[in-house]
Amino acid sequence: MTAAATITGPQCPHCDIPLTQDWIRTGTIVCPYCSRGFDATVFHPVERKQRVIEVATAGPEGANQCANHVRNAAVTSCQRCGLLICSLCEMNLGEGSLCPSCFDRVRAEGTLRTAVTRYRDYTALGRLTLIAGIVFTFFFLSIPLGAMAMYYGRKGALQRRAEGSSAFGPYTIVVLGLLEIFGGLAFIGFIIWSVTQAGK
């Protein structure tokens, strides 16, 4: 009887509990364990073109075996722990070769820049869009930027609610975005009124 292998895979960025296959999809996901939301993008790795060489056919130059797959010849070593690994085990995101165990460790520590979990803060995006709408009122951009602020505010409210925190700030952005749209319409109306008065 063989020992059960450790299952590794995508985890919730808030509670670090592994997600089952049916929860892995692109978009906003609410963790079934901690009920907090996060944005996710499913990664489809490029199919490997190299052939896995078995130790028996590798010859004298490739006689070292992989530490995880005894029948496979090692093609490199892990830059972190020095373990010999085959092409199936090699995890390389542009910062050197790592074995699967070290890759999981550096990803959990956040020291691997290419594997850092990104978080989209919709409330901050709404606040920025709202300020941009006020700044660019004279360029008639307050209406579309106000609508964008309302959209981000609503998304931010849903995000905060999923995280279990107060949604007062995002809802304030929604209200101010609506006022910004009305202000932009009033400004355009004033310009049209001024032009018609000047033409009389």
**What are the tens digits of pLDDT across the range 30-77?**
888 888 888 877 766 656 555 566 655 555 555 688 888 888 888 899
Q: What is the pLDDT of residue 5?
A: 40
75 and 111 in a single domain? The answer is: yes
22 vs 181 pLDDT, higher one? 181
Q: Is residue 2 included in any domain, yes or no? A: no
Q: Tell me which amino acid residue 184 is.
A: G
Q: Say how many C-beta atoms besides its own lie within 10 A of residue 64's C-beta.
A: 14
Q: Tell me which amino acid residue 163 is.
A: E
Question: Model-level pTM?
Answer: 0.46
77 and 60 in a single domain? The answer is: yes
Residues spanned by the domain of 39: 7-44
66 and 22 in a single domain? The answer is: no
Q: Is residue 175 included in any domain, yes or no? A: yes
What rounded mean pLDDT belongs to the chain?
A: 81
Q: Is residue 146 included in any domain, yes or no? A: yes
Instruction: Give kind and range of the element (H or E) at residue 4.
Output: none
End-to-end Cα, the chain, rounded Å: 96
24 and 51 in a single domain? The answer is: no
Task: For residues 194 and 185, give the distance between their C-alpha atoms in angstroms, rounded to a whole number.
Answer: 14
**Beta carbons within 8 Å of 154's beta carbon, 6+ residues apart:** 170, 174
pLDDT 10s digits, 168-178: 999 999 999 99
37, β-bridge pairs:
30
Alpha-carbon separation of residue 102 from 12, 64, 90, 119, 126 (angstroms): 19, 20, 11, 24, 38
Final residue belonging to a domain, choices 95, 115, 135: 115
Q: Is residue 1 included in any domain, yes or no? A: no
127 and 156 in a single domain? The answer is: yes
User: How many distinct structural domains can be found in the chain?
Assistant: 3
76, β-bridge pairs:
85
Task: Name the least confident of 11-20, 113-122, 180-189.
Answer: 113-122
